[in-house]
């Protein structure tokens, strides 16, 4: 039985779901894969829990409970300074970044230099300036499947197309389960403010919903797809439409949530206008070799995009081989459980092959 040591950066919704899946299915995973997954470090902004031989299950369960209750890891005994995370890095371990932080990049690079594999749920390191992000795309021991499509095999399919010599010409689709859910709720007549609040409570949004509503999260996904396809675009090459006014960009999360009812009438009017023309609103990303756009589009109700329901994602790859009819991947594109399962798949794949 091969031991696979796992280091967690972040213990939010996805991180907790991943840890639960490892704890609850480790015997099944061991019998199917020959791997025994052993969490050796848990880190958040408050500090680090570390045992190089494996954190005891009671410690892992206590960390799950504490963070579920809204506490940070420093509420637990044995916490160490976050600066000691380097002590967890060892050749063959897998570091998992399930944060939404730009501050993890030095640790990611240190992990790769130490011989660790890295799995990213965090899109930020992949969507920064190309000169800095390029290493992550090209490193053989780094995976980032869940950064687009949660648990759907989007990146794997794109890599398959490229590895078999196909040429991708354009990528389009609905890349946000959060905004898919929002559009579906608006279509049902649910006010904008209620739909945003519901999406947040279901765990579909980032902690600050504006990360999704701004279009930045979709733009990052579009940029990741473009770069994976071989187009070294920058964020400035994408035009992005936010779903709230600039006046709400600088307020606190609580102030933003309190102000969302002021947008109910505007979005109800946009929905009604689309429906009057036999269309429905979808938040669509389109990207090609020279750039792309991300924004709210009125699409025919009977089109593939118009037929999407709830948080479903839809990604269409237009290629030299799939020229007349694109290769399509569709399914649930949000939720901590399916996202964590995708991260777990990357962890298993890297652990088995390195």
Which residues are tagged catalytic? 221
Q: Which residues contact 210 (CB under 8 A, 6 or more apart)?
A: 242, 244, 248, 249, 253, 256
Question: Of 201, 214, 250, 222, which Cα lies nearest the Cα of 315?
Answer: 222
Q: How many CB atoms lie within 10 A of CB 315?
A: 25
Sequential DSSP letters for 178-203? HHHHHHHHHHTT--HHHHHHHHHHTT
**Strand 312-319 versus strand 168-174 pairing type:** antiparallel
What distance in Å separates the CA atoms of residue 201 and residue 207, rounded to the nearest whole number? 10
Q: How many CB atoms lie within 10 A of CB 222?
A: 29
Helix axes 105-113, 130-138, angle to 10 degrees: 40
Question: Of 57, 58, 54, 44, which Cα lies nearest the Cα of 9?
Answer: 44
Q: Counting runs of H as helices and runs of E as strands, what totals does the chain give?
A: 13, 12
What distance in Å separates the CA atoms of residue 270 and residue 232, rounded to the nearest whole number? 35
**Strand 238-240 versus strand 291-300 pairing type:** parallel
Q: What is the dihedral of CA 29, 30, 35, 36, to 10 degrees?
A: 100
354: three-class secondary structure by DSSP: coil
Instruction: Cite the DSSP H helix spans in the chain.
Output: 13-33, 57-68, 105-113, 124-127, 130-138, 154-163, 177-187, 192-201, 210-213, 216-228, 253-259, 264-276, 336-353
What distance in Å separates the CA atoms of residue 124 and residue 227, rounded to the nearest whole number? 13
């Amino acid at each position: 039985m091969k031991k696979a040591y796992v280091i967690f950066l972040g213990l939010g919704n996805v991180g907790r779901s991943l840890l639960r899946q490892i704890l609850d299915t480790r015997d099944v995973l061991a019998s199917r894969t020959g791997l025994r997954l052993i969490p050796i470090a848990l880190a958040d902004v408050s500090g680090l829990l570390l045992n190089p031989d494996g954190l005891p299950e009671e410690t892992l369960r206590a960390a799950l409970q504490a963070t579920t209750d809204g506490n940070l890891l420093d509420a637990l005994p044995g916490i160490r300074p976050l600066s000691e995370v380097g002590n967890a890095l060892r050749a063959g371990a897998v570091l998992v970044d399930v944060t939404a932080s730009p501050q993890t990049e030095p640790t990611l690079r240190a992990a790769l230099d130490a011989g660790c594999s890295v799995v990213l749920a965090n899109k930020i390191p992949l969507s920064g300036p190309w000169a800095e992000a390029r290493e992550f795309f090209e490193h053989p021991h780094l995976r980032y499947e869940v950064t687009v499509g949660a648990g759907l095999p989007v990146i794997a399919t794109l890599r398959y197309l490229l590895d078999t010599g196909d040429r991708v010409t354009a990528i389009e689709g609905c890349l946000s389960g959060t905004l898919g859910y929002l559009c579906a709720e608006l279509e049902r007549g649910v006010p904008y403010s209620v739909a945003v609040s519901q999406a947040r409570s279901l765990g579909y949004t980032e902690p600050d919903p504006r990360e999704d509503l701004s279009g930045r999260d979709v733009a990052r996904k579009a940029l990741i797809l473009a770069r994976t396809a071989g187009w070294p675009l920058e964020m400035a090459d994408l035009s992005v439409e936010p779903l709230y006014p600039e006046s709400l960009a600088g307020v606190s999360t609580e102030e933003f949530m309190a102000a969302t009812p002021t947008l109910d009438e505007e979005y109800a009017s946009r929905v009604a206008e689309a429906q009057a023309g036999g269309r429905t609103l979808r938040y669509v990303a389109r990207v090609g070799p020279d750039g792309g756009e991300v924004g709210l589009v009125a699409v025919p109700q009977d089109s593939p995009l118009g037929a999407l329901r709830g948080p479903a994602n839809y990604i269409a790859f237009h290629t030299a081989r799939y020229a007349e009819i694109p290769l399509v991947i569709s399914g649930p594109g949000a939720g901590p459980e399916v996202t964590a399962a995708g991260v777990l798949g990357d962890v298993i794949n890297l652990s088995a092959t390195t």
